[in-house]
Chain A
Amino acid sequence: MKELNPISEFKQDPETSHENCDPVLHSSSVVTSQDSKIEEKQHNEEEQEQEEEELRRLLLPKVEDLPDTPPSAVEANFTTFLLRDFMKPGHDQYIRRHANGLCVIGLAPTHVAFKDKGGITSVDFNVGKSDRSGIKVTGKRKKNAQHFESNTALCKVCTGDASYIVRCCVKGSLLEVNERLIKQPELLNTSPEREGYIAIIMPRPADWLKAKASLLDFEQYKKSRAEP
């Protein structure tokens, strides 16, 4: 996403400008010609036409009400927290918590790995006692999920110069790791907060409350960056 710098991605931007919006034509003639999907049932034609028209009217939004840039699904559904210098300097990670309690773990834009020339070139989930990508969690009860501590290693990301351990950040069950990163490590560089996420962890509510105390929210994070 070239047009957005990584930081602004985190920003919730409720402000919307309507200036550039053209007035919309709500006349049905603009669109009816296209939509000719007609039910073959014995509906009388007039009634059906009325229904189609009503459907069109209901579906078409008022353009002047639409925000220039709508909040993304990530922004709308997750709350972002950050950890700076977790275990080691420059090891900055994000935790995006969904309203349902699940936490998406990934690398913060200020993570030291992004500063290396060429960015991240490979990701290795084979850390610790087991390969994190080898565990198949199943069922509603999340059978086989491993319970990890906040400092348990999730994977190792490598750049041309060095490698860095990425950690769980919150204590909980590891539901999945992003296996796409094995074949496409560049997703970490291009979209670390979306397709480049590292893992999904399900903390117990009590553990989450404890962990939350040591996390920065987005405002605190921004501030901490401004300070040298």
Chain B
Amino acid sequence: MADGVATAHNDDEEAHVSSATEANKDDLGFLRDAVRTLPPQILKDLLSNGVCTRCIFRLLILHEEICSRPSLSTPILSAILHELTEHEGDGANSSAGETKDLIDTEHVQDFQEEFRFCRVCLGILQFVHNDDKGMLMKKHRASDFAAAIGDAVKQDGHNFDSFSLEVSLPPIVDVNEQAVWSYIKKKYGSQPWFREKYPSESIAVKDFLKLSVTNPLEKLLDVKSNESSFRIRLTYTLSDASAMKQPIHESNGCYKRRKCKSKWLRCAVDDLHLKREQNDIDFIKNSAGLHKVERHEPSRNSSIESGDDGTGFLAFPIEKVIQCCSLNFQFYKTPIYVGGRYLKYSRNVSQTRWIIDDERMGEASIEEIVGGNILPICQGDSYKFHAAGREDIDVRMLGTGRPFLVEIQNARQFPSDELIKDIEMKINNLESKFVRVKNLKFLGSQGWELMREGEAEKQKQYAALVWISRPLNNDDVQTLSSPKDMQILQKTPIRVLHRRSPLEREKTIHWMRIERIAGSSHYFLLHLCTQAGTYIKEFVHGDLGRTHPSVGSILGCRAEILQLDVTDVKMDCFQA
């Protein structure tokens, strides 16, 4: 076998062929009639130039007829085309006898031996590909190919109530498509068929593939296809290795004027092919699947423009394909979100994993505790933790808690309300008692909207344990609790000045309230509600007078803060 001929695993193909014939006699008749309407010259031309049957039907705008019959096998389609082109001009109507001929296994066998990767679609619409182990896989029917996808989906263990199919093809397929169209246009543009059915009605390889596979896949998976959060992605690629095999002949004089159009196109040309294509005006080299070479010869260009007389001296623009694409199945879900509010009880637990020079800061993180417990229940691949602001590691988050979202990548399981309750219980009963979650909710893919709504200008409420350098008196309680919406000026605190901009910001202290601590005259709890972004520690001790006024400056003594807790993050989300 020469290059370009595939040897595939056709395990049970005879069975396929015979079963197909039983079911599809009507289809065959219908198809034969449809094919008769096609211009035989173009049909023959494309067929002899190694364009696959599905590409031919596609290019000649019979895609609907083919795609709606996913059980039609490649040999049958091939047989119909060959029969029609061979009996061209007979004008005879189809008969039962002819149909029988078509499905004759010997006849079918002939076409298989001639199997070549389609020069346009690289075998994609012949349902031929290399699998992830490099094995050549070949299916005869769209329904069989759909079944292979369906099996892989089921193996991956996803749980879904709909799906959407995504197809990604190597860019060369697009280039081939353009080339074959301009070829047909140049050669047959004057024919009545061409003028009637302009190429705009034909569909691309990608769309043809989707159209053929979607219906059988819906049946197999027993769900509908729509804009689903569950994505089935077929990625066809050409291996770089196959491109490398082709030597690059930069020194050969004939190539001096050639030009690579795009980065992904590599100029590699094989000598033998070149000799054969010597007279081409444009040709796309496809020996390794992704080579496009253009030669510009103005004199010849002009000759073709005036020579669209259909005599066929125009050579087919795409070279033989010796290797088909590798196909990779991916199944993934667009992220889903679980949201709620968290409480942080420890002054040695950070909000997110915090590593400095390979050393963990704090003994754990909210991110890991919460995310790590939600992820396995959703059977996702990974998670991201998002929160509405953060507190310092030594600050506890109490009271109402802080809104957060856990984004789950590729969740295979949508947690039920009960499961969500279970997660909440599990986290809240952890031995470490670092964290508690409240109002945990499954949000589907809508997580961000909820969070953003509440984002704007949130107030925060704190409780600070304050010490002052003289005993607290009743006037102090009055002095601190009377101001409402007090403006303060706050310079960027020294503790963060090394990494933040030096700025002076105006902040609002909405209210303050003193709670005395029995048994101590120097200590008290200061409850305060402030504008988001206020540095509370500095508001208490004054940061060398850089935050002004401060608790210390208002009371006219030294004030120190020993502990700080956030008691409320005033946002609408996850309140209950």
Q: A: which residues have CB within 8 A of B?
A: 1, 3-4, 21-25, 30-31, 34, 39, 41-43, 51, 55, 58-61, 63, 66, 68-74, 77, 98, 100-102, 104, 137-140, 142, 175-176, 178, 180, 187, 194-195, 197, 200, 202
Contact = CB atoms under 8 A, between A and B. Distances in A.
B320 to A, nearest CB: 59
B483 interface: no
A175 B525 contact: no
B499 interface: yes
Given A24-B519, A63-B518, A55 B567 contact: yes
Contacts of B562: 61, 66, 70
Contacts of A34: 515
Interface of B: 345, 396, 398-400, 463, 465, 467, 469-470, 491, 494-502, 515, 517-520, 522-523, 525, 537, 541-545, 557-558, 560-563, 565, 567, 575-576
Given A55-B567, A200-B497, A3 B575 contact: no
Nearest to A41: B576
A178 B491 CA distance: 12
A142 B525 contact: no
A11 to B, nearest CB: 15
A77 B523 contact: no
Given A70-B467, A104-B544, A41 B575 contact: yes
Given A34-B515, A63-B523, A73-B561, A195 B544 contact: yes
B517 A24 contact: yes
Nearest to A76: B560
Given A1-B469, A73-B537, A102 B519 contact: no
Contacts of B518: 22, 24-25, 30, 63
Nearest to B517: A63
Given A31-B515, A195-B545, A200-B494, A55 B561 contact: no
Given A31-B515, A41-B575, A142-B502, A72 B558 contact: yes
Contacts, number: 113
B563 A61 contact: yes
> Which DSSP category, helix, strand, loop or mixed, fits chain A's interface?
loop
A187 B544 CA distance: 11
Contacts of A197: 544
Contacts of B557: 1
Nearest to A4: B469
A80 B94 CA distance: 103
Nearest to A193: B544
Contacts of B495: 77, 98, 100
A194 to B, nearest CB: 5
Given A25-B518, A34-B515, A63-B520, 14 more contacts: A22-B520, A23-B519, A30-B518, A31-B515, A51-B399, A58-B396, A58-B398, A59-B567, A69-B467, A73-B537, A74-B544, A101-B498, A175-B497, A187-B545
A139 B449 CA distance: 32
Nearest to A44: B576
Nearest to A106: B544
A140 B497 CA distance: 8
